[in-house]
């Protein structure tokens, strides 16, 4: 490994923005459905983890990757389980990265660790947005999910966040075995009233190897019914639109102006750098090349069309990470310009903004989109300035995977 400071093109052009994600892999306990990389407890590793994350972020900053950071997202896991160490992490990241004056700075939290004093300390450091894992305001549903909080604790957490002055989002899960329509409607009603300006709504999926998977296989918990989940997603869309929080992405709803800027980076092909074990990064080919040359990583292939982006995950375990926070990434995925255009089109169709005709063309996806339009899953709309956009329809939201896959696998007929 060479000294990155020595190879840093300090005199180069203005840096392209890179969003920063920090993965905090600790939770109070593991939820029954969770396959995220996180560890129950792990108290002895928390302080070393923060030291390692700050060291890692500081290292990448030498490559000028953190000179123009529009959004910082500290997720997990349960970052607020770190307590005062989380305040130290936020402060250290702000000292390391050059955050824009209007940067969005989000911290994920869960009800059991949402403490008023900690939230106030984080807001004082500059945190301006929280994302709270409520999942449901029904104790029976929370028990099925294996959450370690109850509905009353979730309500208390929303009050703390509402009083903090920062914006906040809540996550909800639908299609949970045993969850009734009445329970879901009541959860939506509370979600609307609790002061959140943003909601993420996901159907429950049974991930292989989780306790929920084992329970479904053993027959002690019924498998989630996708039709129930679809009905609940539709109910959410209607209730949230009526409450002034329209959908802006397949699973995301917000009051206008309160959309998640960090998540929009993911859905619009922006660059992001992941810090922490199992955090994913995506950089432009040029940004990646700078790091790869300094670190001795695999360099982008010389290809036609040329490489446009590199995506990688550093899959060290937590123990390895605290010892060696700069370990090499696993296999790097290099995307050429065509693949990048297809990916952007696919992700763009996850948003209500959709994609322009030019984006569809660049992705070689026009034929696929015409086919999807015949099935009623997408449509063309024209804006006031005459710009045509492909957008996902109501039916398309319900069959989203069919839409995204058709665009991702589209073949450009002009390609040899
Ligand atoms: S709180 Fe979130 S990350 Fe932690 S175990 Fe539950 S679902 Fe997984």
| Each residue's pLDDT tens digit, 368-398 | 999 999 999 999 998 777 889 999 998 898 8
Q: From ligand 1's centre to the CA of 173, what distance in Å?
A: 13
Do residues 127 and 120 touch, judged by C-beta distance below 8 A? no
Closest CA to 94 of 78, 72, 76, 113: 72
The pLDDT assigned to 330 comes to 84
The pLDDT assigned to 333 comes to 95
Residues with CB under 6 A from ligand 1: 27, 30-31, 34, 36, 38, 76-78, 110, 133
Q: From ligand 1's centre to the CA of 251, what distance in Å?
A: 18
Please enumerate in sequence order all residues whose Cβ is within 8 A of that of 294, keeping only pairs 6 or more positions apart, or say none.
1, 2, 3, 4, 7, 63
The pLDDT assigned to 414 comes to 45
Q: At what angle do helices 84-96 and 116-125 cross, to 10 degrees?
A: 10
Closest residue (by CA) to atom 6 of ligand 1? 31
pTM, 2 dp: 0.93
Q: What domains appear along the chain, each with residue ranges and CATH number?
A: 12-264 (3.20.20.70), 354-408 (no CATH)
The ranges of the chain with pLDDT < 70 are 1-15, 411-416
Closest residue (by CA) to atom 5 of ligand 1? 30
The pLDDT assigned to 4 comes to 44
The pLDDT assigned to 5 comes to 42
The pLDDT assigned to 1 comes to 43
Q: Which of 42, 110, 141, 202 gets mutated to test ligand 1 (max ligand atoms within 8 A of its CB)? A: 110
Q: Which two tokens stand for residue 264?
A: 């929009």
Find the largest Cα–Cα distance for the chain: 63
Do residues 106 and 260 touch, judged by C-beta distance below 8 A? yes
Q: From ligand 1's centre to the CA of 76, what distance in Å?
A: 8
Closest residue (by CA) to atom 8 of ligand 1? 34
Q: Which two tokens stand for residue 120?
A: 């106030």
Q: From ligand 1's centre to the CA of 30, what distance in Å?
A: 6
Closest residue (by CA) to atom 2 of ligand 1? 77
Q: From ligand 1's centre to the CA of 26, what distance in Å?
A: 9
The pLDDT assigned to 11 comes to 42
Percent of the chain topping pLDDT 70: 95
The pLDDT assigned to 13 comes to 54
The pLDDT assigned to 14 comes to 57
The pLDDT assigned to 401 comes to 86
For the stretch 269-294, pLDDT in tens is 999 999 999 999 999 999 999 999 99
Closest ligand 1 atom to Cα of 33: 7
Q: Which of 27, 153, 202, 207 gets mutated to test ligand 1 (max ligand atoms within 8 A of its CB)? A: 27
């Amino acid at each position: 490994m060479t000294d990155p400071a020595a190879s840093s093109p300090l005199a180069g052009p203005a840096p392209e923005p890179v969003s920063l994600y920090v993965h905090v892999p600790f939770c109070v306990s593991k939820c029954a459905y969770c396959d995220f990389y996180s560890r129950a407890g792990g108290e002895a590793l928390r302080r070393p983890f923060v030291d390692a994350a700050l060291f890692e972020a500081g290292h990448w900053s030498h490559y000028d990757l953190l000179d123009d950071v529009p959004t910082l997202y500290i997720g997990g896991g349960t970052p607020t389980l770190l307590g005062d160490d989380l305040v130290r992490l936020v402060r250290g990241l702000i000292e390391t990265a050059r955050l824009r004056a209007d940067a969005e700075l989000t911290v994920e939290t869960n009800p059991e660790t949402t403490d008023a004093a900690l939230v106030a300390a984080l807001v004082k450091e500059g945190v301006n947005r929280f994302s709270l894992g409520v999942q449901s305001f029904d104790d029976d549903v929370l028990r099925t999910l294996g959450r370690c909080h109850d509905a009353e604790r979730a309500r208390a957490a929303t009050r703390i966040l509402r009083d903090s002055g920062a914006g906040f989002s809540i996550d909800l899960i639908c299609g949970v075995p045993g969850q009734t329509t009445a329970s879901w409607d009541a959860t939506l009603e509370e979600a609307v009233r609790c002061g959140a300006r943003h909601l993420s709504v996901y159907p429950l999926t049974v991930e292989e190897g989780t306790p929920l998977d084992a329970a479904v296989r053993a027959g002690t918990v019924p498998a989630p019914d996708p039709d129930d989940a679809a009905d609940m997603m539709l109910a959410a869309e209607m209730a949230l639109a009526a409450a002034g929080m329209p959908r802006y992405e397949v699973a995301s709803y917000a009051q206008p102006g309160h959309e998640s800027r960090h998540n929009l980076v993911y859905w619009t092909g922006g660059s992001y750098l992941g810090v922490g074990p199992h955090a994913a990064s995506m950089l432009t080919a040029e940004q990646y090349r700078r790091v790869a040359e300094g670190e001795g990583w695999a360099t982008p292939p010389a290809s036609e069309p040329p490489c446009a982006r590199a995506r990688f995950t550093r899959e060290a375990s937590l123990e390895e990470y605290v010892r060696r926070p700069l370990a090499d990434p696993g296999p790097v995925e290099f995307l050429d310009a065509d693949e990048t255009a297809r990916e952007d089109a696919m992700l763009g169709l996850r948003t209500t903004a959709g994609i322009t005709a030019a984006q569809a063309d660049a992705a070689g996806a026009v034929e696929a989109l015409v086919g999807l339009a015949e099935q009623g899953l997408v449509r063309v709309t024209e804006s006031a300035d005459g710009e045509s956009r492909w957008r996902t329809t109501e039916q398309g939201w319900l069959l989203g995977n069919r839409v995204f896959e058709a665009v991702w696998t589209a073949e450009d007929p002009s390609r040899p």
